[in-house]
Amino acid sequence: ATTKTKIGNSEFRNCFMNAAGVYCYDKNELEQVINSAAGTFVTKTATLQSRSGNPEPRYHDTALGSINSMGLPNLGFDYYLDYLLELQKTHPDRTFFFSLVGMSTEDTHTLLKKVQESDFNGITELNLSCPNVPGKPQIAYDMETTENLLTDIFSYFKKPLGVKLPPYFDIVHFDQAATVFNKFPLTFINCVNSIGNGLVIEDESVVIKPKNGFGGIGGEYIKPTALANVHAFYKRLNPSIQIIGTGGVLTGQDAFEHILCGASMVQLGTTLHKEGPSAFERITNELKAIMDKKGYKTIEDFKGKLKYL
């Protein structure tokens, strides 16, 4: 069996990659993902200026997953763009993902115009969990703002673009969000970002410093939510918009379930943070074993073919 995949016009030797934020802060980490069994990588979400992020501890592992309020620590847009352009020379046969977000709508357009005008030929992932104007929920939970933002972006951005989405929990929100996304030539949507504002306690205390311990939840806790978001959008979106599945992938079976729900690519976050880049080879082998047992030669043989009762 082969676990190769395609996103837009780009082919990848493997359908696994890191989730933005994990193993992607600098060249050292990104190089480890390049040299692993992963098919590609996505950068840490980049902002116009570099950011130190929130006070530590800001990430904490638990038995069933993780919690984080990193606060977007990153080396700044130019660092990642320079590295991506260097990789286009040293690895011309590979396509990489560039995650970015503006701290304001204006910054988002500045960033995307820079990408559009650059020689970057990879895929851009816009983080829609980005902050909105104070008093309003994150962009992706504000459908009008999301539609207006995407309308403006697609007036000038002509390179492959996808959006990283927080989980939705209401069927009406799946309907409303899909209606908006179907209006645009998105290459993909990535479901899901961490489940926002969870709280982990040890003994009598929170475990991270920012936001009185509130943070995004990842890991085993979130697989049912991640699978539901992947499948809900798979059933609602134009087939031209592919789905990247993220959330709760610890084993080849978890990846198999994401693909069964409609994912064309699968990202590792918490598992990668805990296990390191060797997780890519382990999980790839586990998925191949499942495919061999079931007689599936490629992921297209079972992608989106979730059975109902």
Give the number of other CB atoms < 10 A from CB of residue 2.
Answer: 13
Nearer of residues 167 and 277 to ligand YRO, judged by Cβ: 167
Tell the smallest beta-carbon distance from residue 41 to ligand YRO (Å): 16
Contact map string, positions 205 to 244, toward ligand YRO, x by CB under 6 A: -----------x----------------------------
**Residue 202 contacts residue 232 (beta carbons within 8 Å):** no
* Those residues with Cβ within 8 angstroms of residue 262's Cβ, 6 or more apart along the chain or in another chain: 230, 231, 233, 234, 235, 243, 245, 303, 304, 306
From 65-73, 222-230, 235-243, 297-305, span contacting ligand YRO (CB under 6 A): 65-73
Pairing outcome for strands 195-199 and 65-68: unpaired
Nearer of residues 160 and 216 to ligand YRO, judged by Cβ: 216
Nearer of residues 37 and 42 to ligand YRO, judged by Cβ: 42
Tell the smallest beta-carbon distance from residue 115 to ligand YRO (Å): 18
Helices 278-294, 252-260: axis angle to 10 degrees equals 60
Give yes or no for residue 131 binding ligand YRO (CB under 6 A): yes
Task: Pick one of 45, 146, 190, 246: the residue that binds ligand YRO (CB under 6 A).
Answer: 45
Let me know if 191 is a catalytic residue: no
**Residue 97 contacts residue 123 (beta carbons within 8 Å):** yes
d(CA 262, CA 230): 6
Cis amide leading into 57 (omega within 30): yes
Task: Pick one of 1, 62, 71, 159: the residue that binds ligand YRO (CB under 6 A).
Answer: 71
The catalytic residues are 130
- Enumerate binding residues for ligand YRO (CB under 6 A): 21, 45, 68-72, 127, 129-131, 193-194, 216
